[in-house]
Structure 1
Amino acid sequence: MPATVDPARREVAGLYSAHQRWLSSWLRQRLGDSHQAADLCHDIFVRLLAREEPVDAREPRAFLTTVAQRMLFSHYRRQQLERAYLEALRHCAPALAMSPEERAIVLETLVEIDRLLDGLPVVVRRAFLMSQLDGLKQAEIAERLGISLATVKRHLVKAGMHCLLALEP
């Protein structure tokens, strides 16, 4: 590896060469699919390379396990979103059918929205989605969720700020 490579990248390269095979095997055991495991393993190391701060893993396998568990959670969540979306498509009229490209774009958008809303309390997320996707007015959201109008307003502001902060580089 050239001497001009920054220490953080060198550290990730070291983690990769020492633990990639083990991590791939660990993922394969959980997923039951060697191709998905290889893809997820690759995504983990790409994500580590994109970090601005050094990894500094004193216990590399414990660190990689934690990162992998988070990636698995995201993977399963994405699969769940995809299944729900495909199920919703089955109930649409044939005239509303989309091309595979359009479906892929919509699915990616749903995953991105899910990522942006990640970390918010469920009621805040629901209020935001009712407002943005269902087009409900704040009073209707308050009634459906059984909360005050002021609380709905706070939830919408919180969700909006959360999305804005998540979009910042």
Structure 2
Amino acid sequence: MPPDHSLHTLYSDHHSWLKAWLRGKLGNAADAADLAQDTFMRLLQRQEQLQLNTPRAFLRTVARGLVIDHWRREELHRAYLEALAHVPEALVPSVESRELLLELLERLARLLDGLKPKVRQAFLLAQCDGLSHKAIAEQMGISLRSVERYVADALYHCYLLRYEDER
């Protein structure tokens, strides 16, 4: 795409196509419209000038990441509702509390996303199950030093993501 090709032109030339592509992936026009808008919002937030030779391939790449995030959120939401179904009615949180909890779960999932499976497992065993590093090493069949490194890596990863969110 020539350097003078603006985001406005990109939007007007490809928005309908992107929405149709997303509808094919999601099977839902409303979600497709939302993710098409989110795709262009991501592009608006970019600092660098877009100079694209293949705009549809670029848009598809950005949108594909948003689709994966969408599916992940839906799966998390389903798992949360399934867990709530097993809670005694007197203990079921209010609708507002459920939404806040779901938002927190989504933030936690984003924080843990990108961690290698063993790093994530060690971190969750330490933080959620309260296991000692020695117990984690025994359960995972790895050295104590590996557990220490994995937990430290996960904490650093979360710190970096938290720092980026605050900017």
TM-score scaled by length of structure 2: 0.89
Which segment is superposed worse, 106-115 or 138-147?
A: 138-147
Give matches, 1:148-159, under 5 Å.
Answer: 148-159=143-154
Which segment is superposed worse, 19-28 or 138-147?
A: 138-147
**Whole-angstrom distance in 2 between the partners of 1:133 and 1:48:** 36
**Residue 11 and residue 129 in structure 1: after superposition, are their counterparts in 2 closer, same or farther (change >3 A)?**
farther
Which segment is superposed worse, 49-58 or 30-39?
A: 49-58
2:90 aligned to 90, 95, 99, which one? 95
Give % identity: 49
2:134 aligned to 129, 134, 139, which one? 139
In the alignment, is residue 58 of structure 1 matched against residue 53 of structure 2?
Answer: yes
- Give the letter aligned to residue 64 of structure 1: L
- 3-state SS in 2 of match to 1:55: coil
Give 1:132 deviation, angstroms.
1.7
**Residue 101 and residue 71 in structure 1: after superposition, are their counterparts in 2 closer, same or farther (change >3 A)?**
same
2:160 maps to what in 1? Answer: 165
- 3-state SS in 2 of match to 1:120: coil
Give 1:143 deviation, angstroms.
2.1
2:21 maps to what in 1? Answer: 26
Q: Any gaps of 5 or more consecutive residues in structure 1?
A: 1-6
**Residue 65 and residue 154 in structure 1: after superposition, are their counterparts in 2 closer, same or farther (change >3 A)?**
same
Give 1:69 deviation, angstroms.
0.9
- Give the letter aligned to residue 149 of structure 2: R
1:83 maps to what in 2? Answer: 78
**Whole-angstrom distance in 2 between the partners of 1:47 and 1:121:** 26
**Whole-angstrom distance in 2 between the partners of 1:44 and 1:155:** 34
In the alignment, is residue 46 of structure 1 matched against residue 41 of structure 2?
Answer: yes
1:115 aligned to 87, 99, 110, which one? 110
- Give the letter aligned to residue 8 of structure 2: A
Give 1:29 deviation, angstroms.
1.0
**Residue 55 and residue 163 in structure 1: after superposition, are their counterparts in 2 closer, same or farther (change >3 A)?**
farther
Which segment is superposed worse, 88-97 or 147-156?
A: 88-97
TM-score scaled by length of structure 1: 0.88
- Equivalent pairs, count: 162
- Give the letter aligned to residue 153 of structure 1: E
Give 1:100 deviation, angstroms.
1.1
